[in-house]
């Protein structure tokens, strides 16, 4: 009897199924855990495992900053309703806190560590729960901003110290990043494949103008410059004061950025 109780306990943790269902499955399969899991799945009573194939298009973003390292994590569910529950929010924060404490930025590692907790939450909310992404950033000072729990930003500064006003400046930069979604900090950080793709598009568009070869190149160069300015943070016009770009705004406030991360639910 004690052995059966331990098997039932283990099966419940793995499947999220009820006690009676687990007991019946183990009796039916003569105590074989793997066969019992298959039995529960085929009978439709294995709630957690049956939910694992469901799409998770909604989610939330969670951050944790410790000293010079910042972590940002995306946790997904099936519906927006579940993402606003206390259970979901608590679990998301627990995940990113653990990742920060143990320096883990690998989703598969986190999934393995929190396998039982994930199954438990799936059972509780009756939806699939998925750890989708986790990223980290280094910086002397890191500021975070989360918009509607759906878009999160970490901004890192190379400054050794920042005044309250300068920290507010960084917070404004984080809000700007949420709004304009820059690809990267500077031009040299833009992936070459993105540059090549945009150049190909602008070349084809320019050819349709029927201009001379000399004018075509000027048109292409002008459009590529605009593309780069629109997609690199330091060159973007500051949303709170479009008379200056981000580089000028930072220089005025004597703040130096070393990088940023932007994470939005449902995007690559």
Q: For strands 58-66 and 241-245, give the pairing.
A: unpaired
SS3 57: coil
**CATH assignment, 58-176+255-264:** 3.30.479.20
Q: What percent of the chain stands above pLDDT 70?
A: 94
SS3 128: coil
Q: What is the pLDDT of residues 207-239, one digit of tens each?
A: 888 888 889 899 999 999 999 999 999 999 999
* Helix (H), strand (E) at residue 150: none
Mean pLDDT of 166-181: 98
**CATH assignment, 2-51:** 1.10.8.10
In this predicted structure, what is the pLDDT of residue 50?
A: 61
Whole-model pTM above 0.85? Answer: no
In this predicted structure, what is the pLDDT of residue 37?
A: 78
Rounded Cα distance, 135 and 73, in Å = 7
Domain ranges across the chain: 2-51, 58-176+255-264, 187-252
Mean pLDDT of 238-255: 97
Mean of all residue pLDDT scores within the chain = 91
DSSP class of residue 58 equals: E
Neighbours of 82 (CB within 10 A): 22
Mean pLDDT of 22-44: 80
In this predicted structure, what is the pLDDT of residue 154?
A: 99
Instruction: Flag whether pLDDT at 45 surpasses 60.
Output: no
In this predicted structure, what is the pLDDT of residue 30?
A: 85
């Amino acid at each position: 009897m004690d052995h059966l109780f331990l098997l039932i306990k283990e099966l419940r943790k793995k499947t999220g199924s009820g006690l009676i269902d687990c007991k019946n499955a183990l009796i039916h399969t003569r105590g074989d855990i793997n066969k019992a899991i298959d039995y529960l799945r085929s009978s439709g009573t294995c709630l957690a495992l049956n939910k694992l194939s469901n799409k998770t298009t909604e989610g939330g973003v969670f951050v944790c900053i410790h000293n010079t390292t910042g972590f940002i994590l995306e946790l997904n569910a099936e519906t927006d309703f579940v993402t606003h529950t206390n259970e979901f929010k608590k679990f998301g924060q627990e995940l990113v806190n653990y990742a920060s404490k143990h320096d883990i930025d690998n989703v598969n590692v986190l999934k393995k560590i929190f396998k039982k907790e994930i199954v438990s939450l799936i059972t509780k909310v009756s939806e699939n729960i998925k750890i989708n992404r986790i990223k980290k950033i280094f910086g002397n000072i890191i500021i975070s901003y989360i918009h509607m729990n759906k878009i999160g930003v970490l901004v890192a500064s190379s400054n050794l110290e920042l005044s309250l006003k300068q920290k507010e400046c960084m917070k404004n930069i984080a809000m700007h990043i949420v709004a304009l979604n820059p690809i990267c900090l500077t031009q040299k950080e833009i992936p070459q494949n993105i540059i090549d793709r945009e150049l190909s598009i602008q070349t084809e568009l320019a050819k349709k103008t029927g201009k001379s070869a000399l004018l075509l190149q000027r048109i292409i160069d002008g459009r590529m410059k605009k593309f780069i300015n629109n997609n690199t943070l330091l060159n973007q016009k500051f949303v709170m004061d479009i008379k200056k770009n981000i580089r000028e705004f930072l220089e005025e406030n004597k703040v130096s950025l070393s990088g940023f991360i932007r994470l939005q639910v449902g995007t690559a």
